[in-house]
Amino acid sequence: MKLIIKNGTIINPVHHQHEKGDVVIEDGKIVSLGGIADVSGAEVYDAEGFFVTPGLIDMHVHLREPGQEAKEDIHTGTQAAAAGGITHVVTMANTKPVIDNMAVLRAVQKRVEEDGVVKVSIIGSVSKRLKGEQLSEMGDLSAAGAVAFSDDGHYVENANFMRRAMEYAGQLGKMIIDHAEDMTMCGDGFMNEGIISYQMGVAGRPAVGEDIAVSRDLLLSQLTGCHIHIAHVSSAKAVELIRDAKKKGIDCSTEVTAQHLYFTDDYLKNYESAFKMAPPIRTEKDRQALINGLLDGTIDAIMTDHAPHADEEKDVPFNCAPNGIAGLETSLASTLTVLYHTGKMSIDRIVELMAVNPAKLLHISGGVLEEEGTADITVIDPDKEWVVRGNELYTKSLFTPYEGISLKGKAVLTIVDGEIVMKGGKVVK
């Protein structure tokens, strides 16, 4: 069956394409791109007023399977991705058991084949059981398809161990994704350390704990030549450190979450556990530094760090709640609201940050629309205003910091391998 997306504005940064035209899809491939298509015998989707972009890619999610299916599973997590206009997610290794060997990785791949709604790539752990003591089976994991290595959720405290891990990952041609928080400084904190935490009487996680960790691992990248990717950067100083490292030619990159671009620690004054995450939401100064880092190219990608928890885990006093929020269904809308509708950033640049660059960084397919290429496509209504309600989301984790907030912009069609998986906000797979 032929599918034609008509009258949309095609946003295709790799080919510097920003023009109104039709996209014809058949047998999972893009048959033609641009111009006016003959609609006879085809299913037609009218995208007048909408953006037609390469499928969005989220390079940092936690699908929680295996072992933590009460929080999320591969089916619900990929449904949430489809609802958010994301056609490809990259899931972290901190499952139970940890993805530290080929057997677990292959089991996850099998579950993705059975229940995945969108494409899923898998990250292997740096260390066995995330303990930072013994290397994971990195060679086997790489051979089986792991796209990177990370102990995300844990900082690798031992500098010499991290050096050896980076040397090995570099030989395999894989990046290490670094959760950069020195836990000797941050481990006892629950939110950003600052005026708000002092007023609330809550122990803080100081930004300098992030800065120290970032600085150490940039130096190790310089020493080993391994590509280091700083996950979910949140502090102004860390952005500055990464900017300087790039100028020196250090092989590094970084990402920011949509929620760190939207919120500040002012939102935590009511002790709401929906805002609790690691690294924490910081100050307005930090938020502005993150936006500036995107604008000048220091920060390479916008992602979610989708880290869902069961409702009963988050519906507890603030200090008792686990870190992490669900973000797959709000990331695009939040980004459009903060950056596009304020005039700070073009839609072309947003697509680079949410599709093109993640594909390039991880050496995975996607991020571009091409004739004869795979039809992974997101259609976006930039002007659709909607109010976030946790109980209307596809994720199992209904506690969201965006609860009751009006956002502007939404994915209205998600296509994976030429198949519609979400239409009009409804996941159909």
Answer yes or no: 305 catalytic. yes
Q: Are 57 and 88 in contact (CB under 8 A)?
A: yes
* CB-based burial label for 198 (10 Å; 0-12, 13-18, 19+): exposed
Binding-site residues for Zn(2+): 60, 62, 152, 179, 232, 305
Strand extents, DSSP E, 27-143: 29-33, 42-46, 51-54, 56-61, 86-91, 119-122
Q: Pairing state of beta strands 191-192 and 29-33?
A: unpaired
* Helix, strand, coil shares, percent, the chain, to 5: 35, 25, 40
Q: Are 251 and 221 in contact (CB under 8 A)?
A: yes
Binding-site residues for substrate: 62-64, 94, 309
Length of the chain counted residue by residue: 429
Q: Are 77 and 64 in contact (CB under 8 A)?
A: yes
Distance, in Å, from the CA atom of 317 to the CA atom of 52, rounded to the nearest integer, reads: 43
* Annotated active-site residue in 100, 151, 305, 376: 305
80 residue type, one letter:
A
Active-site positions read 305
